[in-house]
Amino acid sequence: GCGESCVDAVETVANCVPVIIPAIAGRLDAEDFVERIDGLLLTGGRANVEPHHYDGKPFPEDEPIDPARDGTAMPLVRACVARGRPVFGICRGIQEMNVALGGSLFYRVHLEPDMQDHRMPRRDDITVEEVMEPRHTIHFTPGGSFQKLMGCDAVEVNSLHGQSIDRLADCLAVEALAPDGVIEAVRLKDDPTFTVGVQWHAEWEPHNHELSRCLLEAFGEACRVNGVGAERESGRSLRPVAI
């Protein structure tokens, strides 16, 4: 689930040291591990969060799953929230955050009444640039932190997801919605640091997308201010941001 663009975004935009966590559910002590990192970035991924984590209907047999990642990421989310470590969830990452904190997901949002198809375009000759180009508008919650950050009411984002948030976790607040009502961004209520999830791929060319760049920069700053690393050099977090 961790591509080069995520590593680059953490290093060059968040200005932190990226360290990739292997999916080793059951063998990673989440509570101990978060004492060793300054922040957690949850990347996108092909497989979907399995429905037994939120009492959903079973997947079809051919649905891609990744139980090792489910079992690694969600305990880390809960441990980070409990200890005030910054978390930035991207695409699958926002879904993991919501489920880890008590919410649920739509299996296929485009099958829900009045919902649009948020999946990537399906074409054999499509380029990655076409896949990642902006697909729809998101509208910020009035008075929310995204609106204050950007000084506007809406921006365009890319869209590559089949699942989306259904029941929002009680501890999360909505920061942005798609035109059809799909939740596109959340933030932890009464957040002491930076605990944010976004449904689009914010790691894709953030230098060309002001909101994504600003969020990655804010995440990096939160890692430096709220992380556990005692030493800092040239403004960079010397302890890792796990991805």
The CA distance from 211 to 234, in Å, is: 25
- Quote the tokens at residue 129: 């640039």
From 83, 93, 78, 109, select the one nearest 171 (Cα to Cα): 78
How many other C-beta atoms can be found within 10 angstroms of the C-beta atom of residue 24? 11
Catalytic residues: 91, 201, 203
How many other C-beta atoms can be found within 10 angstroms of the C-beta atom of residue 115? 16
Angle between helices 92-100 and 67-83 (to 10 degrees): 60
How many other C-beta atoms can be found within 10 angstroms of the C-beta atom of residue 231? 7
From 33, 5, 19, select the one nearest 237 (Cα to Cα): 19
Asked whether 106 and 177 are in contact (CB, 8 A), the reply is no
| Eight-class DSSP state of 48 | B
Tokens 């989310």 belong to residue:
77
Question: What Å distances lie between residue 168 and 28, 29, 62, 82, 183, CA to CA?
Answer: 27, 27, 27, 19, 9
| Eight-class DSSP state of 57 | P
